[in-house]
Structure 1
Amino acid sequence: MAPVSVYLDHAATTPMLPESVQAFTEHLVRTGNPSSLHTAGRAARRTVEESRERLAAALGARPSEVVLTGGGTEADNLAVKGMFWSRRAQDPARRRLLVSAVEHHAVLDPAFWMAEHAGAEIVLLPVDADGVLRLDALAAELEEHGDAAALVSVMWANNEVGAVQPVREVVALAHRYGVPVHSDAVQAVGQLPVDFAASGLDALTVSGHKVGGPVGVGALLARRGLDLTPVLHGGGQERGVRSGTLDTPATAAFAVAVEAAVAALPSSAARIGALRDELVAAVRRAAPEAVLRGPADPALRLPANAHFTFPGCEGDSLLYLLDSAGVQVSTGSACQAGVPQPSHVLLAMGTGEDDARGALRFTLGHTSTRADVEALERVLPGAVERARAAGLSGRPRVTSGDR
Structure 2
Amino acid sequence: MIYLDSNATTPMSPGVVEAMMPWMTEKFCNPNASYAGAKEARKAIEAAREQVAALIGAEPDEIVFTGGGTESTNMALKWLARWVGRKTGRVVTSVIEHSAVLKPVQTFEDVGYAVERCPVDAGARLDLDAFSSACRAAREGGGFASLMWANNETGTIQPVADALIHAKESGLAFHTDAIQAVGKIPVDVREVPVDFLSLSGHKFHGPKGVGALFIRSGCRFEPMVRGGGQESDRRSGTENVAGIVGLGKAAELARLRLEHDPHGRVTGKLRDLFEERVVEGLKGVTVNGDLIHRLPNTTHLSFEGCEAAGLLILLDDKGVACSAGSACMTGKMKPSHVQKAMGFSDAKAKSSLRFGFSHMTTEEEAERAATDLIVSVEKLRRVQGGNTGPVAIYS
Same topology, TM > 0.5: yes
Cα distance per residue 1:74-133 (max 9 Å; x no partner): 111112112211222xxx5442221111111111112112223x4323221111111111
Cα distance in 1 for residues equivalent to 2:382 and 2:297: 30
Q: In the aligned structure 1, how far is the partner of 2:332 from the partner of 2:78?
A: 29
1:265-309 alpha-carbon deviations (Å, 9 max, x no partner): 243711111111111101212322110001122xx1100011111
Q: Hey, what's the Cα distance between the residues in 1 that align with 2:331 and 2:232?
A: 39
Aligned length: 382
Q: How far apart are the structure 1 equivalents of 2:23 and 2:277? A: 43
| Structure 2 residue corresponding to 1:107, chosen from 101, 116, 133 | 101
Could you tell me how far 1:14 is from its partner in structure 2? Answer: 1.1
Partner of 1:18: 14
Aligned partner of 2:177 in structure 1 is 184
From 36, 39, 60, the equivalent of 1:39 is 36
**What pairs up with 1:125-136 in 2 under 5 angstroms?**
125-136=118-129
- Whether the 8 Å CA contact 2:184–2:295 is kept in 1: the answer is yes
5+ unaligned residues in a row in structure 2: which ranges? 386-395
Instruction: Give the TM-score normalised by structure 2.
Output: 0.92
TM-score, length-normalised on structure 1? Answer: 0.90
SS at match of 2:237: coil
| Structure 2 counterpart of 1:61, from 41, 58, 68 | 58
**In 2, Cα distance between the equivalents of 1:389 and 1:306?**
25
Distance 1:314 1:344 in 2: 19
CA distance in 2, matches of 1:276, 1:43: 42
Look up the equivalent residue of 2:2 and give its one-letter code.
V
State how 1:272-351 maps to structure 2 within 5 Å.
Answer: 272-297=267-292, 300-351=293-344
Cα shift at 1:149? 4.5
Return the alpha-carbon distance in structure 2 between the equivalents of residues 129 and 347 of structure 1. Answer: 10
Alignment of 1:187-336 (within 5 A): 187-265=180-258, 266-267=260-261, 269-297=264-292, 300-336=293-329
1:113-128, aligned counterparts within 5 Å?
A: 113-116=107-110, 118-128=111-121
Report the alpha carbon displacement of residue 345 of structure 1 after superposing the two structures with TM: 0.9
One-letter amino acid matched to 1:280 = E
Aligned to 1:148, the other structure's residue is in SS state coil
**Partners of 2:324 and 2:19 in 1: how far apart?**
33
In 1, distance between residues paired with 2:276 and 2:199? Answer: 31
Q: Is the 8 A contact 2:278 2:370 kept in 1?
A: yes
Residue pair 2:84, 2:142 contacting (<8 A) in 1 also: no
Give the C-alpha shift of residue 223 in structure 1: 0.7
CA 1:221–1:24: 2 relative to 1, 3 Å: same
Give, in whole Å, the separation in 2 of the partners of 1:391 and 1:287. 16
Bigger mean CA offset, 300-309 vs 373-382: 373-382
Amino acid aligned to 2:91: L
Query: Is there any run of 5+ residues in structure 1 with no aligned partner, and where?
Result: 393-403
Cα distance in 2 for residues equivalent to 1:252 and 1:24: 6
Partner amino acid, structure 1, of 2:207: P
State the Cα RMSD in Å: 1.8
How far does residue 168 in structure 1 lie from its aligned partner after superposition? 0.8
Specify whether residues 222 and 373 from structure 1 end up closer, same or farther in structure 2 by C-alpha distance, changes over 3 A only. Answer: same
User: After alignment, is 257-266 or 235-244 more displaced?
Assistant: 235-244
The counterpart of 2:46, out of the listed 25, 43, 49, is 49
1:382 to 375, 382, 388: 375
